[in-house]
């Protein structure tokens, strides 16, 4: 008994982090967590609320009447409410200010050599026009001359060589331009993680051959449809030099998938705006990396790169970095310059992507396998991050109102108490409604306004429909793409230890392809626009036979 207790409480020495495989035996039991939550809520509402509500609500009603009759008590109650609103609005202003600074040129040190940047673009059967626009946005970087572009391809892609040769026309704009061809090995999971694991290992060998210090090379992993602001790499480097020791932290830019918002259906539009806003305006606190992020090549080597048997590679990399560095508060440093990605437009494809996002629940199982390896403080913080992302998703906040006992308890309140509860709910919802579209108006005008040439314009009447239907559409979209997708993956985990990487296609419509190429071409001589022949090539639209990856 004593030895068993010590094995749980004492951290062993010379133990490395287990692979994703170590957590898979726990996957089948994860569904017990949301089922337990459901059971607790049902017991509380069905059994305890009817017993306690007569006396509890009667007492609450009496206290409320006394509070409303006292000016002092009203002041005591309203002061923290007003303070919370002021604090919330203050955070909004701070984030907006930082986003505005993220658009500007960054100050870099002049007394030391600048970093070498390496941008790893993972792709599998992506349309050429999508990749061309991504490479073109890298050509326009202020640090393009100091950047190595790595096209991380899959060997099973029959058109990989042709795609690379077409994009290679841009190599003169960069410090280096290379490709890797990943062959899927036994035990690996097809997807972004195994691809970038192979690509960055190859990059590390190339960097050593070039005589460069891996801790002087900043690696940015990006999806194929990533359109960088021209100062993005400059902003990443600025954050590196402003961090006391940026060698062993991650640098993450808030996700933004609104470039083609006009091509999405109403449910997807509302969900994507909400997803981007939650990521962006919560970035004052530590947020896990999503899709596109940066780190020193030397740090990637110390972390043993990416796990090739993993699907949710961004969250997994964040957790590995936290474990390696001992859970510092600034393990993920925010880069306030935005990379624009495309949304998956169709409902069916968005459902496929939602399931892949929610398969991040495998990280909870992996966390269980880490318990004997990590110190309690580090493990507990990592568990909190994974639980925040995945264990809260299956039970929405409105679920408690699905029980008639909840409504009966509310009906037991007096008229004045009912009015106050109703007013509080309405005011809170309206505040969120106004903030939602106020944020988006700010983003569209001040942060993304200078990039309208690459965005699909959205007509005013579609914005009007989105505003008017928000109270209905947002809860429905959250229920489908978060709650239902979570339950689907919990159920999947009972019988399966892996999720087949089914890609959700992203590609330009013919009209969008012409507009993107006209505004975002790539050349081999460093110019910002392509020649007529190259533009014709980039306008060729290739429909991927197996879909294109949508890893955001």
More confidently predicted of 422 and 218: 218
pLDDT (0 to 100) of residue 71: 80
The answer, yes or no, to whether residue 175 has pLDDT greater than 80, is: yes
Q: What is the mean pLDDT of residues 311-333?
A: 89
pLDDT (0 to 100) of residue 493: 94
pLDDT (0 to 100) of residue 550: 37
Q: What is the pTM of this model?
A: 0.87
pLDDT of 10-64, one tens digit each? 555 445 788 888 899 999 999 999 999 999 999 999 988 888 777 666 676 777 7
More confidently predicted of 375 and 121: 121
Please name the residue that has the structure tokens 């409410």: 81
pLDDT (0 to 100) of residue 19: 86
- Phi then psi for residue 537, to 5 deg, are -65, -45
Q: What is the mean pLDDT of residues 339-368?
A: 93
HEC profile for 156-191?
CCCCHHHHHHHHHHHHHHCCEEEEEEECCCCCCCCC
pLDDT of 415-457, one tens digit each? 888 888 899 899 999 999 999 999 999 999 999 999 999 999 9
pLDDT (0 to 100) of residue 326: 84
DSSP 207-237: HHHTT--GGGEEEEEEETT-EE-TTHHHHHH
DSSP 491-536: HHHHH-SS---PPPP----HHHHHHHHHHS---SSS-SS--HHHHH
Mean pLDDT taken over the chain = 86
pLDDT (0 to 100) of residue 234: 97
Beta partners for residue 153, in sequence order:
181
All domains of the chain, ordered by start, with CATH?
A: 17-517 (3.90.550.10)
Is residue 95 within 8 A of residue 278, CB to CB? The reply is no
pLDDT (0 to 100) of residue 528: 41
The answer, yes or no, to whether residue 321 has pLDDT greater than 70, is: yes
Beta strand segments in 249-401, E: 250-252, 293-296, 332-334, 339-340
pLDDT of 249-271, one tens digit each? 999 999 999 999 999 999 999 99
Q: How far apart are CA 502 and CA 320, in angstroms?
A: 25
The answer, yes or no, to whether residue 532 has pLDDT greater than 70, is: no
Burial class of residue 463 in the structure, from the number of CB atoms within 10 Å of its CB (0-12 exposed, 13-18 middle, 19+ buried): middle
Q: How far apart are CA 272 and CA 293, in angstroms?
A: 19
In sign, the C-alpha dihedral spanning 512, 514, 516, 519 is negative
Is residue 486 within 8 A of residue 358, CB to CB? The reply is yes
pLDDT (0 to 100) of residue 51: 80
């Amino acid at each position: 008994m004593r030895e068993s207790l010590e094995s749980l409480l004492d951290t062993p020495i010379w133990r490395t982090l287990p692979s994703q495989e170590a957590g898979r035996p726990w996957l089948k039991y994860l569904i017990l967590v949301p089922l337990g939550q459901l059971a607790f809520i049902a017991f509380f509402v069905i059994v305890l609320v009817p017993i306690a509500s007569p006396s509890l609500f009667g007492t609450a009603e009496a206290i409320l009447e006394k509070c409303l009759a006292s000016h002092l008590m009203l002041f005591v109650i309203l002061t923290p409410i007003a303070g919370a609103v002021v604090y919330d609005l203050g955070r909004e202003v701070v984030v907006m200010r930082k986003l505005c600074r993220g658009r500007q040129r960054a100050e870099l040190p002049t007394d030391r050599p600048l970093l070498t940047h390496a941008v790893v673009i993972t792709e599998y059967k992506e349309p050429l026009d999508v990749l061309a626009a991504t490479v073109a946005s890298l050509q326009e970087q202020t640090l393009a001359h100091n950047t190595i572009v790595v096209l991380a391809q899959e060997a099973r892609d029959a058109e990989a060589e042709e795609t690379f040769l077409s994009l290679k026309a841009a190599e003169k704009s960069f410090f280096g331009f290379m490709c890797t061809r990943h062959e899927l090995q036994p035990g690996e999971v097809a997807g972004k993680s195994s691809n970038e694991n192979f690509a960055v290992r190859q990059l590390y060998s190339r960097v050593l051959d070039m005589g460069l210090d891996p801790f002087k090379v900043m690696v940015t992993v990006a999806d194929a449809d990533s359109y960088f602001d021209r100062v993005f790499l400059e902003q990443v480097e600025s954050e590196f030099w402003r961090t006391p020791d940026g060698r062993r932290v991650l640098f993450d830019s808030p996700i933004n998938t609104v470039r083609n918002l006009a091509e999405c259906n109403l449910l997807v539009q509302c969900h994507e705006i909400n997803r981007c806003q939650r990521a962006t305006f919560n970035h004052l606190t530590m947020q896990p990396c999503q899709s596109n992020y940066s780190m020193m090549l030397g740090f990637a080597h110390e972390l043993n790169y990416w796990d090739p048997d993993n699907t949710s590679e961004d969250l997994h990399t964040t957790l590995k970095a936290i474990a390696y560095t001992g859970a510092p508060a600034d393990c993920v440093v925010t880069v306030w310059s935005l990379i624009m990605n495309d949304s998956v437009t169709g409902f069916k494809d968005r459902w496929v992507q939602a399931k892949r996002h929610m398969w991040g629940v495998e990280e909870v199982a992996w966390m269980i396998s880490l318990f004997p390896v990590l110190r309690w403080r580090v493990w507990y913080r990592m568990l909190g991050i994974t639980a925040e992302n995945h264990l809260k998703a299956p039970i929405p906040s409105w679920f408690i109102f699905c029980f008639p006992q909840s409504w009966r308890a509310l009906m037991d309140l007096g008229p004045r108490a009912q009015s106050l509860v109703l007013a509080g709910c309405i005011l809170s919802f309206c505040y969120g409604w106004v903030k939602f579209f106020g944020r988006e108006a700010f983003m569209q005008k001040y942060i993304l306004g200078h990039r309208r040439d690459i965005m699909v314009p959205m007509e005013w009447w579609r914005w009007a429909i989105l505003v008017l239907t928000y109270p209905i559409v947002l809860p429905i979209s959250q229920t489908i793409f978060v709650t239902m997708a979570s339950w689907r993956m919990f159920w999947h985990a009972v019988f399966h230890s892996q999720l087949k990487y089914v890609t959700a296609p992203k590609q330009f419509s013919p009209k969008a392809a012409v507009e993107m190429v006209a505004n975002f071409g790539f050349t081999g001589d460093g110019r910002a626009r392509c020649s007529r022949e190259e533009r014709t090539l980039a306008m060729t639209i290739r429909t991927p036979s197996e879909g294109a990856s949508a890893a955001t």
